[in-house]
A and B are shown apart, each in its own frame.
Chain A
């Protein structure tokens, strides 16, 4: 048996076990706390607030039933005051199911409460599910039962809260930094342009033919006298493909790769400035260059759609 399974098995031994000690409400049911509640919730029920109405109907003011648990709310307790429910929660924590979200909150209001009545509560673990796979992660549903009593032991309300105690899923793995480009004499101008906020395209100083990616010799005339020009950055999507798998360093998946045809006539491989949106990418889509940090923080030429 794994350590975790042993802890869960121990938690089950507490189900139906004795409730924790009676916790006595700090103050009896009282008008100032009712006023505070009614003002905060904007509840103007005469049964809670109007003494004259109360005298003519029930004979007395009542407390809002929704305040039942409020009368026994208190600061966290020490280990010596733990009941079966506290033990179940502690063991689930130790087994790694440390996160909690409430799923159900149910009450039976046996009778209405009057001012001056002191309310106590005793709480017990009622149920612990099998391990469940949930949208939030692996976890256990637990039900705690609260019995609310007056000083002479009359049960005036029963509450049940069902909680999901779950293991927070591991954070998405970091994609790491995008590999840095290999920069040499032939393409230095291109990457300098990125830093300067310019999309630079290699051009032949002899015949003015444009080239991308950068190259040392003009394919048109064979000249090695190469310069560059600055693109307007406007173009259209010539083709696109979306990469889902395998993982790539420095790339958040899915990743839409764009082949953009610039209005100067050359094409370059790029990506969207924001998260991939394969479903809205189409051939012929008008795009405009922008310079955006990629994972790792370096700038890359990227594109945004223009309408």
Chain B
């Protein structure tokens, strides 16, 4: 039973080099900062980091894993914070902030050792 204040269980996601490269290419994002450590460092980053499409994908996966395959994502709004560098572990946390009939609104946060990587608001339809 979903109600305002329902907390989703924490999920941890390893940001390995392989994971960052695989997800960037699976989203057809060929920016070098997502697969080339040396170039990422020349551009001022510590190492390669997760691309935005993937961060969004993880937020949505976290929500649909909880609400099931019949749920329908309507909107996702991400604020982007610290980078999710290779070697980090991102912990996902979520709280239901609104229930209006079948429309559910959540706050979702993905945090790593540097702070909040992504702060999101997601709305979805959850069939009764």
**A residues near B, CB below 8 A?**
33, 36-37, 39-43, 45-47, 50, 53, 57, 64-67, 69-70, 73-75, 101-109, 112, 161, 168
The SS class assigned to the A binding surface is mixed
**Could you list some 19 contacts between A and B, CB below 8 A?**
A37-B27, A41-B26, A41-B54, A42-B61, A46-B69, A47-B70, A64-B57, A65-B60, A66-B53, A66-B60, A69-B53, A70-B26, A73-B27, A104-B77, A104-B78, A105-B56, A106-B75, A106-B78, A109-B75
Interface bracket on B: 20 to 34
B70 touches which one: A37, A57, A65, A104 (CB < 8 A)? Answer: A57
B73 touches which one: A33, A43, A46, A65 (CB < 8 A)? Answer: A65
B25 cross-chain contacts in A, Cβ below 8 A? 36, 40
A73 touches which one: B19, B28, B69 (CB < 8 A)? Answer: B28
B74 cross-chain contacts in A, Cβ below 8 A? 108-109
Q: With both chains docked as a complex, state the minimum distance between the C-beta of A55 and any C-beta of chain B, in angstroms.
A: 13
Contact A104-B79, Cβ < 8 Å, known A45-B69, A69-B53:
yes
For window 34-61 of chain B, which residues contact chain A by CB distance below 8 Å? 44, 52-61
Asked whether A66 lies within 8 Å of B69 as measured between CB atoms, the reply is no
Asked whether B60 lies within 8 Å of A105 as measured between CB atoms, the reply is no
A66 to B56, CA, bound (A): 6
Asked whether B56 lies within 8 Å of A43 as measured between CB atoms, the reply is no
Contact A70-B53, Cβ < 8 Å, known A45-B69, A109-B75, A112-B72:
yes
A303 to B22, CA, bound (A): 47
Asked whether A43 lies within 8 Å of B69 as measured between CB atoms, the reply is no
Q: With both chains docked as a complex, state the minimum distance between the C-beta of A103 and any C-beta of chain B, in angstroms.
A: 6
B57 touches which one: A33, A50, A66, A106 (CB < 8 A)? Answer: A66
B27 cross-chain contacts in A, Cβ below 8 A? 37, 67, 69-70, 73
B65 cross-chain contacts in A, Cβ below 8 A? 43, 45
Asked whether A45 lies within 8 Å of B26 as measured between CB atoms, the reply is no
Asked whether A41 lies within 8 Å of B57 as measured between CB atoms, the reply is yes
Q: With both chains docked as a complex, state the minimum distance between the C-beta of B103 and any C-beta of chain A, in angstroms.
A: 13
**Apart from the given pairs A43-B64, A65-B60, A67-B53, 14 other A-B contacts in the complex at a CB distance below 8 Å:** A36-B25, A36-B26, A40-B23, A41-B23, A41-B26, A45-B64, A47-B70, A57-B70, A65-B73, A66-B53, A67-B57, A73-B29, A104-B80, A109-B73
A107 to B72, CA, bound (A): 13
A41 cross-chain contacts in B, Cβ below 8 A? 23, 26, 54, 57-58, 61
Closest to A105 in B: B78
Asked whether B29 lies within 8 Å of A40 as measured between CB atoms, the reply is no
Closest to B71 in A: A47
B54 cross-chain contacts in A, Cβ below 8 A? 40-41
- Is B76 in the interface zone, CB < 8 Å from A? yes
Closest 3 pairs between A and B when the two form their complex, measured CB to CB: A66-B57, A73-B28, A40-B26
Asked whether A106 lies within 8 Å of B69 as measured between CB atoms, the reply is no
A264 to B42, CA, bound (A): 49
B59 cross-chain contacts in A, Cβ below 8 A? 66
Q: With both chains docked as a complex, state the minimum distance between the C-beta of A90 and any C-beta of chain B, in angstroms.
A: 18
Asked whether B26 lies within 8 Å of A107 as measured between CB atoms, the reply is no
Asked whether A102 lies within 8 Å of B56 as measured between CB atoms, the reply is no
Asked whether B75 lies within 8 Å of A108 as measured between CB atoms, the reply is yes
Asked whether B60 lies within 8 Å of A57 as measured between CB atoms, the reply is no
Closest to A111 in B: B72
Closest to B27 in A: A70
A39 cross-chain contacts in B, Cβ below 8 A? 22, 26
Asked whether A64 lies within 8 Å of B69 as measured between CB atoms, the reply is no
A37 cross-chain contacts in B, Cβ below 8 A? 23, 26-27, 57
For window 80-111 of chain B, which residues contact chain A by CB distance below 8 Å? 80
Q: With both chains docked as a complex, state the minimum distance between the C-beta of B120 and any C-beta of chain A, in angstroms.
A: 9
Asked whether A40 lies within 8 Å of B22 as measured between CB atoms, the reply is yes
A228 to B77, CA, bound (A): 72
Closest to B75 in A: A108
B80 cross-chain contacts in A, Cβ below 8 A? 101-105
B75 cross-chain contacts in A, Cβ below 8 A? 106-109
